[in-house]
């Protein structure tokens, strides 16, 4: 069915009370990248609201492969899991869930200059909302996105001022040929692209550190890059109003990444 033909009831619980969890996937040359990791992350998000993914990984994979075949080109896929059951202002007892899979042709527009901003809104502390609860109702991400303007993404700090991530990206800095990224304890989504980049650096002997990163280190970095499923590694040209960066190392890593992910078996299970 067409995107604009999908209707939700005004009584849809996830519309009225939130709790929709989601994943965004893509295909590379006709194969879904990291489908298993995305499925497992969806399961984890769903578990926070007491829901199970209503289909097995095998069934999930079949649906995605059918979409790739139908569209005949590389695709972007949005998967939404809507909790169903007794959900109201007075009760929250999801009894089941419904999965919506929406696929469209992957449309990666060329970006001449990647600018990011720093959000004034901080990430909700993981003690209040787990950082790996990937839900459409996250107000921290919504408010950061609202200040995005023409920037590619907005970087968010955590409650202690530590660098966390963008609204749909993880962030890496490069300093003195070392690659550094906020650790999971900083309160970030465990990005699947991030995971691949870390593994790739380890495999190729590129020094990589996962740790708490201060905002001052972002400003003092030689290079900065973002990671997310649709584009892989995205070198950053500028932090809006603060400073510009070189992008040569990030561009090299980005090329390496395209080759690396294809040879890692776990990405294609």
Smaller CB distance to ligand PLP: residue 99 or 184? 184
Residue 74 vs 246, nearer CB to ligand PLP: 74
Residue number, 67 or 164, with CB nearest to ligand PLP: 164
Backbone angles phi, psi at 144, to 5 degrees: -65, -40
Which of 169/254 has CB closer to ligand PLP? 169
Torsion sign, CA atoms 90, 92, 95, 98: positive
- 169 scored as a contact of ligand PLP (CB under 6 A): yes
Q: Which of 32, 157, 192, 200 binds ligand PLP (CB under 6 A)?
A: 192
194 binding ligand PLP? (CB under 6 A): yes
CB 106 within 8 A of CB 27: yes
**Residues whose CB is less than 8 angstroms from the CB of residue 179 and which lie 6 or more positions away in sequence, other chains included:** 172, 173, 197, 201, 206, 207, 208, 209, 253
Residue 191 C-beta: closest distance to ligand PLP, Å = 3
Q: How many Å apart are CA 106 and CA 186, to the nearest integer?
A: 31
Instruction: Specify the stretch interacting with ligand PLP by CB under 6 A; choose among 91-99, 160-168, 207-215, 245-253.
Output: 160-168
- Where in 22-81 is the site for ligand PLP (CB under 6 A)? 24
The angle subtended at Cα 44 by Cα 125 and Cα 152, nearest 5°, is 60
Residue number, 92 or 257, with CB nearest to ligand PLP = 257
Asked if 20 interacts with ligand PLP (CB under 6 A), we say no
Residues 6 or more apart whose Cβ sits within 8 Å of residue 94: 13, 19, 49, 50, 51, 83, 84, 85, 86, 87
Is 135 among the residues that bind ligand PLP (CB under 6 A)?
no
How far is it, in rounded angstroms, from Cα 143 to Cα 140?
A: 5
Q: Which residues bind ligand PLP (CB under 6 A)?
A: 24, 165, 167-170, 189, 191-194, 227-229
């Amino acid at each position: 069915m067409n995107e604009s033909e999908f209707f939700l009831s005004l009584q849809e619980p996830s519309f009225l009370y939130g709790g929709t969890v989601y994943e965004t996937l893509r295909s590379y040359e006709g194969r879904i990248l990291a489908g298993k990791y995305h499925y497992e992350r969806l399961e984890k998000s769903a578990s926070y609201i007491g829901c199970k993914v209503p289909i097995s990984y095998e069934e999930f994979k079949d649906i995605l492969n059918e979409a790739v075949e139908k569209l005949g080109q590389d695709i972007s896929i949005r998967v939404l899991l809507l909790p169903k059951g007794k959900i109201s202002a007075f009760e929250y007892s999801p009894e089941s869930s419904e999965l919506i899979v929406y696929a469209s042709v992957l449309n990666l527009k060329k970006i001449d200059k990647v600018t990011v901003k720093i959000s004034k809104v901080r990430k909700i502390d993981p003690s209040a909302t787990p950082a790996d609860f990937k839900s459409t109702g996250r107000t921290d991400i919504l408010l950061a996105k609202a200040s995005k303007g023409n920037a590619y993404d907005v970087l968010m700090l955590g409650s202690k001022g530590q660098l966390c991530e963008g609204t749909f990206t993880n962030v890496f800095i490069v300093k003195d040929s070392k690659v550094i990224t906020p650790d999971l304890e900083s309160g970030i989504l465990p990005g699947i692209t991030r995971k691949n980049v870390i593994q790739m650096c380890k495999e190729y002997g590129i020094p990589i550190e996962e740790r708490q990163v201060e905002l001052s280190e972002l400003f003092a970095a030689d290079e900065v890059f973002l990671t997310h499923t649709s584009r892989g590694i995205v070198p950053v040209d500028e932090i809006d109003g603060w400073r510009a960066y070189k992008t040569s190392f990030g561009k090299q890593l980005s090329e390496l990444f395209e080759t690396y992910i294809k040879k890692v078996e776990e990405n294609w299970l």
